[in-house]
A and B are shown apart, each in its own frame.
Chain A
Amino acid sequence: MSTPLLSIKGLTKTYPGVVANDDVSFDIGTNEVHALLGENGAGKSTLVKMIYGLVKPDSGTMTWNGQPFAPPEPKAARASGVAMVFQHFSLFDALSVAENVALGMENPPAMRDLARRIRRVSETYGLPLDPNRTVGDLSAGERQRVEIIRCLLQDPKLLIMDEPTSVLTPQEVEILFQTLNKLKAEGTSILYISHKLEEIRALCDHATILRLGKNVGECVPADTSARDMAELMVGDTLQTPTRTTEKAGDVVLDVSGLTLEPTNDYGTTLKNIHFTVRAGEILGIGGVAGNGQDELLAALSGESLTWPDSIKVNGQDVANLGPNARRELGILAAPEERLGHAAAPDLSLTENALLTGAIREGLTNNGFVNWSKTTEFADTIIKEFDVRTPGNHVAARALSGGNLQKFVIGREVLQRPEVLVVNQPTWGVDAAAAASIRQALLDLAAGGAAIVVISQDLDELMEISDRFGALNEGRLSDLRPAAGLSIDEIGLMMGGAHGMEVAHVGEEEKEGASA
């Protein structure tokens, strides 16, 4: 191979208490799709932030086409031809698509010309987008198109994509891959960050695997099995959760005609949702983020009250009961956002245990807190769910994401719920912790609870749910038995390709005006 496009040698970055990257080296060739594989917290994000000039390495060097490369700020990286599609945090809800694109460019043309160029590029690459729309009104997939088009307008030589498929349906993923392959054929290299092994096997030419900040191996994904890559990534053999099939019991949770307006400006309206969940059954609800997941959880947990008779538990109407009244009846919930929603960041684990456990565990007495009992409850959660913490006095924000997630799930599971609703139970959690959380949910169902798991991780839903449905624009698809569902069928339930098309590059001459 000739000179690599980007060569990284011995990059190290330390934060107080954590070595985010420890002596990482690898090369990205021209016309190569290079995968960066690793679990959450393995240091992938820090590494790409160094390439993009957001973070300065403590030591180590990068060379770009043989020249030393040390971008002091993103502007310099962009000028060299590095473009990045972010996982979070890079769009402005209240601004229009064209304004968002302009903010990511060095020398944007006048707004009218820019709008025209956005239209042209979006048509060429099959990513339909109206430049005048407000970004806050777009779906997650459309927001990603904004980011991709922002990058494409700069003719990047290296396109960095940080977990791009987490917000797409399987059909959209397939089209995105075709777009990426066209880009590669045009001479753009791609650094593709993911923890989804099958995607990497389908798309990437070469993979570098990070674990705890270290480069632990490289491979050609097409020739390596997903299992081998997973073990390199995790550094251990993976435990797959086991389930004991129990016969489902009577209907416990009965939702009919649930309609709910969102509480914030850019939320989704739930439209006429019907489903039932039996005792001992896990209902998996998939769908791309922002299609009503948060609203559904709020409706089921009692944070948002709904029309009478829209939610019944064991035949009793609970639609106008608040969260505490529902807890009393055994309806518990664990929302997606760990810090600030499921747990109060600055309160200790004991205090957080009290917040949802007070009623079912009898932790208060005539308005006084029974601290010894509360501490005992917190310790039980920590022990049973293997929460790694110096003690129950530690503030919730001091725990790592995975440990806090085990705590908030454990807190609800240990209250012996009759109905448990969880949203993204293993989001941002390492594989071992995720496996133990899934096992706990399966065990709870085996004990006769009715469980609703809302998640964007399709593999997770296929692994644990008995029946599956998908949310799309606030509507719930028909429910199907999870066993035997093909990925295509799931994708269609999630809303299919949402108007995305295969890139037209090559079919028609690419207009040369992009320079």
Chain B
Amino acid sequence: MDLSAINPVLLIASLMVAATPLLLAAIGELVVERAGVLNLGVEGMMIIGAIAGFAISVETTSPMLGLVAAMIAGAVLSLLFAFLTQFALANQVASGLALTLFGLGLSALMGQSYVGVKPPAMAKLDIPVLSDIPVLGPILFSHDPVLYIGIALTGAVFWFLKKSRGGLILRAVGESHDAAHALGYNVIRVRILAIMFGGACAGLGGAYISLIRVPQWTEGMTAGIGWIALALVVFASWKPWRVLLGAYLFGGINVLQLNLQAAGIAIPVEYLAMSPYLITILVLVIMSADKSGAPASLGRTFHASQ
């Protein structure tokens, strides 16, 4: 065992990379759930984003275009869910599960010719001067732009929900769709926009895995991150900063346990592999002990019957 092989600076820098796809998917789902919709299709939208982003950036050799394509692909797939649940009034749980299965299948089909292909590399955002600072430089100032977008998005979502009129309406719709309807707000429109935002975020998170974190395409490569994002939203009590904390905690322990495995620590690999899940859930359960419940209309179908 050689713990000195673990470089703390690299560890922190790589945990931020590991956490970003989870953060993006979870922050999107948080907005969807605050609007009162439970979309279990996060995993499916992520993997569609992963392959769409990968394919477009290989074809155009532009990683940026790939990321945009991933967001569009995620949002388009989420429209299917929006149609099923908001117009056809289908059950949200069943529709979300179907979306995940559909996304996994479709991405495998689309990705057949991309296995083993190397995507164009995303340039890191090397901020002059700042990234040369020892320790802080590599940790904070020499990442890819998407990672910063993830953090900025968390702040933006926090501000939107807490301070803006649009956020107030979104929360109102999630809290009681009947009351929001009675006051004259268009419940369906608010929810569709939220669902599309969630789809775009999940798509971006998926593309981050296939273009930046791994970077290659393999079938089913999101490997359950979408499900973790769903759990994270619940354990974070639907609060944006807690989602960020949970994602970084999860990413951090994941990176740490991989490092420990490589260092040959005398703990069975299975225990190390389960540790990120256990510790993240434990911490967030303790934090969610305060009284802050789910949006009251979460998962309920709205139909303007009056």
Q: A73 to B189, alpha carbons, bound, how many Å?
A: 15
Which of chain A's residues has its CB closest to B297's CB? A92
Q: A501 to B165, alpha carbons, bound, how many Å?
A: 33
Q: Are B291 and A265 in contact (CB under 8 A)?
A: yes
- Of the stretches A99-107, A152-160, A205-213, A370-378, the one at the interface is A99-107
Select which of B165, B171, B184, B306 is within 8 A of A95 by beta carbon.
Answer: B171
Interface status of A186 (Cβ within 8 A of chain B): no
Produce 1/0 per residue, A55-92, CB < 8 A to B. Answer: 10000000000000000011100100000001001111
Interface status of A228 (Cβ within 8 A of chain B): no
Which of chain B's residues has its CB closest to A86's CB? B182
- Of the stretches B90-98, B172-180, B190-198, B208-216, the one at the interface is B172-180
Hey, which chain B residues are within 8 Å of A102, CB to CB? 165, 168
Interface SS of B by simple majority: helix
Q: A53 to B306, alpha carbons, bound, how many Å?
A: 12
Q: A90 to B183, alpha carbons, bound, how many Å?
A: 7
Hey, which chain A residues are within 8 Å of B291, CB to CB? 265
Interface SS of A by simple majority: loop
Hey, which chain A residues are within 8 Å of B176, CB to CB? 89, 91-93
Q: Are B175 and A93 in contact (CB under 8 A)?
A: yes
Q: Are A90 and B172 in contact (CB under 8 A)?
A: no
Hey, which chain B residues are within 8 Å of A53, CB to CB? 184
Q: A92 to B175, alpha carbons, bound, how many Å?
A: 6
Known: A102-B168, A265-B291, A265-B293. A55 touches B179 (CB 8 A): no
Shortest beta-carbon distance from B223 to chain A in Å: 35
Q: A303 to B168, alpha carbons, bound, how many Å?
A: 37
Interface residue range, chain A: 20 to 34
Hey, which chain B residues are within 8 Å of A86, CB to CB? 182
Interface status of A54 (Cβ within 8 A of chain B): yes
Q: Are B296 and A54 in contact (CB under 8 A)?
A: no
Q: Are B184 and A92 in contact (CB under 8 A)?
A: no
Interface status of B169 (Cβ within 8 A of chain A): yes
Hey, which chain A residues are within 8 Å of B306, CB to CB? 46, 49, 54-55
Shortest beta-carbon distance from A314 to chain B in Å: 41
Which of chain B's residues has its CB closest to A91's CB? B179
Hey, which chain A residues are within 8 Å of B172, CB to CB? 92, 95, 99, 103
Shortest beta-carbon distance from A159 to chain B in Å: 16
Q: A53 to B184, alpha carbons, bound, how many Å?
A: 8
Shortest beta-carbon distance from B176 to chain A in Å: 5
Interface status of A94 (Cβ within 8 A of chain B): yes
Hey, which chain B residues are within 8 Å of A93, CB to CB? 175-176, 296
Known: A95-B171, A102-B168, A265-B293. A73 touches B184 (CB 8 A): yes
Shortest beta-carbon distance from B158 to chain A in Å: 16
Hey, which chain A residues are within 8 Å of B165, CB to CB? 102, 108
Q: A265 to B293, alpha carbons, bound, how many Å?
A: 9
Q: A78 to B183, alpha carbons, bound, how many Å?
A: 10
Shortest beta-carbon distance from B21 to chain A in Å: 30
Q: A74 to B296, alpha carbons, bound, how many Å?
A: 24
Chain A CB within 10 Å, residue with most, of B180, B182, B183, B306: B183
Q: Are B183 and A95 in contact (CB under 8 A)?
A: no
Q: Are A103 and B293 in contact (CB under 8 A)?
A: no
Q: Are A94 and B168 in contact (CB under 8 A)?
A: no
Which of chain B's residues has its CB closest to A92's CB? B175
Q: A95 to B297, alpha carbons, bound, how many Å?
A: 13
Known: A55-B306, A93-B296, A99-B168. A104 touches B183 (CB 8 A): yes
Shortest beta-carbon distance from A77 to chain B in Å: 8
Known: A55-B306, A93-B176, A265-B291. A103 touches B182 (CB 8 A): no
Q: A93 to B295, alpha carbons, bound, how many Å?
A: 10
Q: Are A75 and B184 in contact (CB under 8 A)?
A: yes
Hey, which chain A residues are within 8 Å of B296, CB to CB? 93-94
Q: A99 to B169, alpha carbons, bound, how many Å?
A: 10
Select which of B168, B171, B183, B295 is within 8 A of A74 by beta carbon.
Answer: B183
Produce 1/0 per residue, A38-57, CB < 8 A to B. Answer: 00000000100100011100
Hey, which chain A residues are within 8 Å of B168, CB to CB? 95, 99, 102-103
Hey, which chain A residues are within 8 Å of B184, CB to CB? 53-54, 73-75, 78
Hey, which chain B residues are within 8 Å of A46, CB to CB? 306
Shortest beta-carbon distance from B138 to chain A in Å: 41
Shortest beta-carbon distance from B172 to chain A in Å: 5
Identify the A interface with B (CB < 8 A): 46, 49, 53-55, 73-75, 78, 86, 89-95, 99, 102-104, 108, 265
A-B contact pairs, 24 of them (CB 8 A): A46-B306, A54-B182, A54-B306, A55-B306, A75-B184, A78-B184, A86-B182, A89-B178, A89-B179, A90-B179, A90-B182, A91-B176, A92-B171, A93-B175, A94-B171, A94-B175, A94-B295, A95-B168, A95-B175, A103-B168, A103-B169, A103-B172, A103-B180, A103-B183
Which 3 pairs across A and B sit closest by C-beta, in order of nearness? A74-B184, A92-B175, A89-B178
